[in-house]
Amino acid sequence: MATLTLNNGVKMPQEGFGVYQIDDLETCKQAVKDALEIGYRSLDTAQAYHNEEAVGAAIAESSVDRQDIFLTTKVWISNYGYEQTKASVEESLRKLQTDYLDLVLLHQPYGDYYGAYRALEDMYEEGKLRAIGVSNFYPDRYVDLVKFNRIVPAVNQLETHVFHQRQIDREYLQKYGTQIESWGPFAEGRNDFFNNATLKEIGAEHDKTAAQVALRFLIQEGVVIIPKSTHQKRMQENLDIWDFALTAAEIEQITALDTKTSLFFDHADPQRVESVTQFTL
């Protein structure tokens, strides 16, 4: 598995396994165990997913050493604020059955994310967190956070896929040294993703599926990906993207698919802010 080096020297696998919307805890635990068995070594969960305990149990029951797993979780906004964030991360450590985390992100750019981020900075300096970062921070809030805190985020996890390639975001992330990570690399099937003619035609040239082409595109663009599936066959297919490369012409074709617009929601939309901030753990 290829790795990328974060801005503090920590190496992060470029492909991992996400557990968003795997709500049943037994299903989640089995999916994580299967993913580790197949070869995934990076796991991405969150307080808001309500499955940290299942992920922790899967790691404990697997044959893979904890030190060989890159483990990420995210702090939800109802746990923001300095003291609340520290307490919530300690709770995540307990649920995940570990004494350190490889990466902790602030899940949304709302509420007291300054107090929350400073808590992460202190826990990082205490050695409990190997890297810290953010999720869903658009360029304005991302730059603001960078300018007024001690530690530049190692990662910004954003909706990133062939239909929303985040070129402007990536310019600012590169400027300040933050790694982009994709959530929703398959756009959750929207825009008839899996039947896209461009992706299928390119896939036919490499004996790959549209999904594999889409993942390979992100990999070649330097994006970290965390595809999700509860089916072993799909998990394996999502890993089988390291034995081919897209040509410059194919990259250009896929780049042309970019709509520069979210297929889900705009985090700068006041109605979206109202909706997200009503949700508490």
The domain segmentation of the chain, as residue ranges, is 14-274
Question: CB-side exposure of 148: number of CA atoms within 13 Å?
Answer: 10
Nearest CA to 5 among 70, 100, 101, 66? 70
Look at residue 69 and give its three-state secondary structure: coil
d(CA 183, CA 44): 10
Nearest CA to 152 among 178, 129, 181, 126? 178
pLDDT of residue 89: 98
Nearest CA to 199 among 238, 160, 239, 256? 256
d(CA 266, CA 140): 14
Who's near 74: CB < 8 A, 6+ residues apart?
45, 46, 47, 48, 104, 105, 106, 107, 135, 157
Residue ranges in the chain modelled with pLDDT below 70:
none
E-assigned strands of the chain? 3-5, 11-13, 17-18, 42-44, 70-75, 103-106, 132-135, 155-159, 179-183, 224-225
Cα 273 from chain centre: 21
What is the CATH code of the structural domain delimited by 14-274?
A: 3.20.20.100
| Beta bridge mates, 157 | 135, 181
Catalytic positions, written as ranges: 49
d(CA 187, CA 192): 9
Tokens of 100: 């350190």
- Which helix (H) or strand (E) segment holds residue 58: the answer is helix 52-61
pLDDT of residue 48: 98
pLDDT of residue 263: 96
pLDDT of residue 1: 79
